[in-house]
Amino acid sequence: MHDDINIPTDLARAYVFDMDGTIYLGEHLLPGARRMVEELRRREIPVRFLSNNPTKGPDQYVEKLAKLGLPTAIEDISNTVVTTTRWLVNNHPDAKVFAIAEEPLKRSLREAGIELCEDPEEIDIVIASYDRTFDYRKLQIAFDAIWFHKRAFLIQTNPDRFCPFPGGRGEPDCAAITAAIEACTGQQCNISLGKPSPVMLTEALSGLDVDPTDCVMVGDRLQTDIQMALDTGMKSACVLTGEATADDVAALDAQHRPTWTLDRIDRLIPASVWRELGWTEDNDD
């Protein structure tokens, strides 16, 4: 372990996990992830999974986790497709929405009864999302609905600037599209429905009889995963298997640091339990 790693000494009542960079990286589970999740489930401790990626539906995450050896109920997945759809249903069920988004989000909105619209004279809400089909036509519709007709407002699925890939690559994410719309309309985004918005944690913990202060948010991004936990009073654990490094954590002042910093995800399980189970780093299946 790194000298600056600190680890939990007790188990929490529930755990909320980021996925990419935390549970898996690309198409591979990270060391210790399977046995950690299985041990929490064996103890009947709730496990929930979050993602800011709106290009996949929750069913696709269920399929991916199953292929990686972690069968998971769809109710345990809360990504920005879920949170955006539920927020609109709960707050603006009759709104006409222009979704700059890929098919998983648009399909979810249609299935929930949200009307999708491309007529700027009728659009009430423009959604900026991670959309790899974004083009000038979509920007023009958003511009006309917000600036010219002055009737629509802007929301976004998530605030991420880029989506990281294995090997250090990445591609522009939702924040780039939001910025383009803000730049030409002069209107700021009203709400972001992904991490670090508390909306994500509310959805993740819905149905569980647990106080957020008794739960742990686990992720690899300081500005989203860890900040969301700080904003909601949850304990947090930053894993150094994705974006954040030990130097990034060390550079933070005390009030912005995660509760724990872990070199591997199964360090969430206290050392006393490791000894009880006979775990070692070389035996992490």
Tens digit of each residue's pLDDT, the chain (285 residues): 444 567 899 999 999 999 989 999 889 999 999 999 999 999 999 999 999 999 999 999 999 999 999 999 999 999 999 999 999 999 999 999 999 999 999 999 999 999 999 999 999 999 999 999 999 999 999 999 999 999 999 999 999 998 877 677 789 999 999 999 999 999 999 999 999 998 888 888 888 989 999 999 999 999 999 999 999 999 999 999 988 999 999 999 999 999 999 999 999 999 999 999 999 988 776
What pLDDT is attached to residue 285?
67
Q: Which helix (H) or strand (E) holds 170?
A: strand 170-172
Burial 269-279 (b: 16+ CB within 10 A, else e): beeebbeeeeb
**Sign of the torsion formed by the C-alpha atoms of 176, 239, 217 and 281:** positive
**Sign of the torsion formed by the C-alpha atoms of 214, 79, 165 and 130:** negative
What pLDDT is attached to residue 3?
47
Strands, DSSP E only, in 39-161?
47-51, 77-79, 96-100, 115-116, 125-128, 153-156
Find, among 36, 53, 56, 33, the residue nearest to 45 by Cα.
36
Predicted structure pTM score? 0.87
- φ, ψ of residue 229 to 5 degrees: the values are -65, -45
What pLDDT is attached to residue 199?
87
C-alpha dist (Å) from residue 236 to 10, 17, 63, 196, 266: 13, 10, 27, 13, 14
- What tokens were used for 34? 């399977």
